[in-house]
Structure 1
Amino acid sequence: MRQLQAFTLGKKFGQPEANEDSLVVMPNLGYAVIDGVTDRNGTRYDGMLSGQFASRTAKRAVEYFLLAQGHADQPELQFQGGEHFVDYLGKAIHTGYAANNALAAVEADWKLRGGCTVMAVLLMGDRLEVVAVGDSGLRVNGNDILQVLKPLDDVTAILRRQTWQYFAARHHSAEECDRLSTSVTWQGTQNQIDGTPTADPEFVRLIEADTLAACRSHLPGAPEHELLLLIQQGIAHGQGDFQNVTEPVLGYGAIDGFPVPSRYIETRSYALADVETIELFSDGYFKPGIDFGIASWEAAFAAVEAEDLHKIGRYMSTKGTTATQLTDDRSYLGVRFR
């Protein structure tokens, strides 16, 4: 290794301790970027919100796994492929639930589970073994990118965009547009508080129809009942029905303490001699840097913020930057081998 650069920043201004991203930096052993899933309802384990708990638990598990490589007395911790590695991380989170006396609760209600994405690069002899679940990314040699974005997010992002534009057209402030669109995106159209602008029957009728039409155009292969479930129930009440299950077209994977179907586990293997640089990143970066290094990736981040601060344009997202926080936590980890 000739050079290593690492950077992470939480989305909440003045609250660095709330960052749900985690980094694993173990030169000559391995690296990882882990992104905790935003908590839905204030659930805490070990004093942390559930997403941060999952992220930190997975970080410790990856570090322990890397340290165990080559130890004959720990055969169960030797690398046996992507599915084995992901199962190991899931069991670590599952054990964490048990330590918090929460197993029965999380088995009964997905809303109480913590979750995270993982992009891990493990150095195994003369090879780099890559294992990924979720939408954190990897760029190898400056051009080979692995990042599995989930179409499900596009549905709730379109719902947010349509809601934001609806209220903007009625001369609400940007702050109000952010607040109202967040409520609809998070809770869904059918879970709004009576008497609020987002519970108005005419608004609900229009926004459901407009969002469904936009989603049909954007995701023509997605069944209407899946689109409507997300539109009407939002992230907090509907998204978990798609996590780690294979039946829905819009299904996706996350490490949450329970089995992850193999279709959601991505693996790659590279000869170390062929790799000059690796760059791991969380999805707080909406486009990659032009060059290797923090400075280039931060320049790309600044360009995105300047063009689409509210994330309702080219970089449409389920959240936007507001006066109190950025769109998302972001992390970058770059290694130059030669």
Structure 2
Amino acid sequence: MSKGTSMNIEAFSRSKYKNSTKPGDDVILIEPDQVLAVFDGATDPTGAFYNGESSGRIAARSAARCVADMLVRGTLDEAPAEMIFQEISTSVKTAAQERNVAHPASTTAALAVKCGDMYRILALGDTGVRLNGTKILQHHKIIDTVSTAARIQVHKTLSQRMDESDDVEFATRQTIFLGLEAAIETGKLTRQETELAIQAATQASGLPQSVVAEFLSGGIRTQFHYANADHLLGFASLNGGQVIANGLTDLTIPASELESIEIFSDGYISIPTSGIRCADWEAEFTRVETEDFHKTGAFPAVKGSTSSETCDDRTVISAGI
């Protein structure tokens, strides 16, 4: 096998539900020696399923089919990245409408496309790409930094008056999802305790406190309003709307300079420092779960793990070239 002309491919994807009773929101697309892609559908905050699929999985699967179609048409080689992602976004909207999805469906996308003797790396959202086991291309949303810092503070507060770790985690998730104002109204938190969460998120993000407070007051259930929005908390999303180029990646690199490509969803909180195999990613995942199960310490995240769920779905494609 000559370098740059073929691939040795591994892939692994696991739902966040430990008993595997529900599918995750990640979708893989593999066309050997043509395109590798991972799509991470956004979790539907309503928890709704449509014929066995969440809105996030519907979005991710629609995006994968759209990319496969563009591959056949030759669009992925030279078309502007903005046009490619807009076509994917439009396909997500169509799929959501066909299934009468109530909450806006959305997904990320990260692709490695073989273009002759070159590879084109395209990404939008927080799904990441690593080249040659060293160069990492991954965009992190500032709105997640806000949610994470607030969640950690709320988790700390609730841990002082709740004994069961699962109860603390689920109560924390509900608080951050429904918003701090709802937590005050229901008596879950005091006004002073919500102020501590706002202060923590303001410090972590560096954003004006008024911006942070407005978002956290309404909670993650309002996050879709910031998708593709011209706002300090705005982020790019393949959600059927006009896609903004915030954090968009479009990189072309000679195949002769590549030894490996890894594409991974953000369910992997930490990236392995050695090895590119799926087993290496899973070993790192296990290490993180052992060291910071609640994701409030060395590996902060928007959600922590519980006895029934990990913090997120996780997916990785590893290709040796």
After TM superposition, the structure 1 stretch with the greater mean CA deviation from structure 2, 90-99 or 136-145, is 90-99
Aligned to 2:79: 80
Whether 1:310 aligns to 2:301 is no
Q: How far is 1:16 from its partner?
A: 5.6
Q: CA deviation at 1:172?
A: 2.8
Change (3 A) 1:90 1:223: same
Deviations 1:246-285 (A, max 9, x none): 2x22211110111111234221111111111000000011
What is the letter of the counterpart of residue 251 of structure 2?
A: R
User: Are 1:175 and 2:163 an aligned pair?
Assistant: no
Query: What is the 5 A alignment of 1:13-28?
Result: 13-15=18-20, 17-28=22-33
Contact 2:104 / 2:224 at 8 angstroms: preserved in 1? no
Residues 1:52 and 2:38 are matched in the alignment: no
Of 114, 125, 143, 1:152 maps to 143
Code of the residue aligned with 2:165 in structure 1: it is A
Deviations 1:48-97 (A, max 9, x none): 2211110111111112221222xxxxxx7764121111011012112223
Letter in 1 for 2:235: Y
2:164 paired with 1:164: no
Q: Does 1:67 align with 2:52?
A: no
1:232 paired residue among 202, 205, 217 = 217
Q: Supply the AA of the counterpart residue of 1:218.
A: A
Equivalent runs, 1:51-130 vs 2, <5 Å: 51-69=56-74, 79-100=78-99, 112-130=103-121
What code does the residue aligned with 2:242 have?
P
Pick aligned residue for 2:175 from 170, 184, 190: 184
Matched with 2:255 is 272
Q: In 2, distance between residues paired with 1:244 and 1:46?
A: 28
Residue ranges of structure 2 left out of the alignment (5+ in a row):
1-5
The 1-side partners of 2:243 and 2:109 are apart by 12
TM-score, normalisation: structure 2: 0.92
Which residue matches 2:202? 216
Decide which of 9, 12, 17 is 1:7's aligned counterpart.
12
* Cα deviation, residue 171, structure 1: 4.9
Closer, same or farther: CA 45–61 of 1 in aligned 2, 3 Å: farther
2:35 aligned partner: 30
The residue correspondences of 1:185-204 to structure 2 (distance < 5 A) are 185-192=176-183, 196-198=186-188, 203-204=189-190
Aligned AA (1:213): Q
2 CA distance for matches of 1:262 and 1:135? Answer: 13
Q: Distance in 2 between matches of 1:272 and 1:43?
A: 43
Q: Is the 8 A contact 2:76 2:113 kept in 1?
A: no
In structure 2, C-alpha distance between the alignment counterparts of 1:213 and 1:47, rounded to whole Å = 40
Match of 2:283 in 1: 299
Structure 1 residue 47, shift from structure 2 partner: 5.0
SS in 2 for 1:309: coil
Q: Is the 8 A contact 1:163 1:180 kept in 2?
A: no
AA of the residue aligned to 2:131? V
1:10/1:16 contact within 8 Å kept: no
Is contact 2:39-2:60 (8 Å) kept?
yes
Q: CA, structure 1 residues 47+257, in 2 after alignment: closer, same or farther (shift >3 Å)?
A: farther
Q: Structure 1 residues 232 and 297 mapped into 2: Cα distance closer, same or farther (>3 Å)? A: same
The one-letter amino acid paired with 1:166 is T
Q: Is the 8 A contact 1:208 1:231 kept in 2?
A: no
Percent of aligned positions that are identical: 27
The letter for the 1-side match of 2:228 is N
Q: Is the 8 A contact 2:58 2:96 kept in 1?
A: no
In structure 2, how many angstroms separate the alpha carbons of the residues matched to 1:127 and 1:219?
37
| 2-structure distance, mates of 1:293, 1:50 | 30
- Structure 1 unpaired stretches of 5+: 70-75, 107-111
Counterpart Cα distance in 2 of 1:329 and 1:309: 15
- Superposed structure 1 runs of 4+ greater than 3 Å apart: 42-47, 76-79
Change (3 A) 1:229 1:136: same
Matched length: 315
1:300-320 deviation line (CA, Å, top 9, x unaligned)? 111110110011112111111
Distance 2:227 2:7 in 1: 39
